[in-house]
């Protein structure tokens, strides 16, 4: 997954990473990115949270009856609604999707072929599970910040972009010992998700941390990440854990 097609949702419990699916819903992805860049989603509440079903957000009024004011034609695909699927909310009119969306807690395949799928949670689903339930919740959780992950055309403000391969457990805990600059953009690539304690440790630093999950033994995967993100420096996770550059 290219970092160009990932989205951060910062919740009070931690950060959720959504893999965007432009091959399924290109118009929805373009609109979601636009709204994110404008700060539209920042501090919006989850106004409808149904146990075992979905957490829904994206309404600036928090009522479930509003949006950004721009409807989107449905982009229906054969993608199934399962745990972590992100879909566009709508009214009975299939082409009434606007800014509201939902994240599935569990399998919800009765929604298949009826709603637009535009993303999939790849990291932080445990934080979604912690969202306060209710329709509306008595004390609703909110999206503190929604933003795209940094991409190659945005790296000018960073001193260096570093790829760390493997050793996800270390990230954010041993960065200083490893000699990584505090203003760096760090991309952690591993076969397992980035642990929440590593994300919390890094959150106090001014740089940006993102993660990509995949087969670290596949050279094509590594080369693609290097090319897509203008990587300037590479560390091996085991070496970083020990505090030495390899």
Q: What is the pLDDT of residues 69-86, one digit of tens each?
A: 999 999 999 999 999 999
What pLDDT is attached to residue 131? 98
What pLDDT is attached to residue 183? 47
What pLDDT is attached to residue 204? 56
Residues of the chain under the 70 pLDDT cut: 1-3, 149-160, 167-184, 195-207, 237-246
Report whether 148 contacts 33 (CB < 8 A): yes
CA distance 53 to 105: 5
Backbone phi, psi, residue 217, to 5°: -90, -5
**H/E segment holding residue 56:** strand 54-57
Kindly tell me the burial class for residue 70, based on how many C-beta atoms sit within 10 Å of its own C-beta (0-12, 13-18, 19 or more). exposed
Q: Which two tokens stand for residue 85?
A: 């699927």
CA distance 186 to 180: 9
Distance spanning both ends of the chain, measured CA to CA = 26
Q: Which two tokens stand for residue 65?
A: 């009856």
> What's the pTM value of the predicted model, to 2 decimals?
0.65
């Amino acid at each position: 997954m290219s970092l160009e097609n990932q989205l951060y949702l910062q919740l009070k419990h931690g950060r959720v990473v959504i893999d965007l699916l432009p091959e399924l819903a290109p118009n929805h992805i373009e609109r979601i990115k636009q709204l994110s860049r404008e700060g539209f989603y920042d501090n919006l509440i989850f106004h409808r949270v149904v146990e075992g079903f979905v957490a829904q957000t994206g309404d600036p009024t928090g009522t479930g009856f509003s949006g950004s004011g721009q409807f989107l034609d449905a982009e229906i695909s054969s993608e199934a609604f399962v745990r972590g699927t992100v879909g566009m909310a709508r009214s009975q009119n299939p082409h009434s999707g606007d800014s509201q969306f939902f994240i599935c807690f569990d399998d919800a395949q009765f929604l298949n072929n009826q709603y637009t799928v535009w993303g999939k949670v790849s990291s932080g689903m445990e934080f979604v599970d912690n969202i306060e339930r209710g329709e509306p919740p008595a004390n609703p959780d909110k999206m503190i910040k929604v933003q795209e992950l940094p991409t190659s055309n945005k790296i000018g403000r960073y001193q260096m972009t570093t790829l760390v391969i493997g050793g996800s457990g270390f990230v954010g805990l041993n960065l200083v010992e490893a000699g990584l600059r505090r203003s760096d953009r760090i991309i952690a690539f591993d076969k397992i998700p980035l642990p929440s304690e590593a994300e919390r440790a890094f959150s106090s630093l001014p740089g940006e941390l993102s993660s990509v999950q995949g087969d670290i033994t596949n050279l094509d995967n590594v080369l693609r990440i290097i090319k897509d993100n203008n990587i300037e420096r590479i560390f091996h996770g085991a070496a970083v854990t020990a505090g030495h550059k390899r």
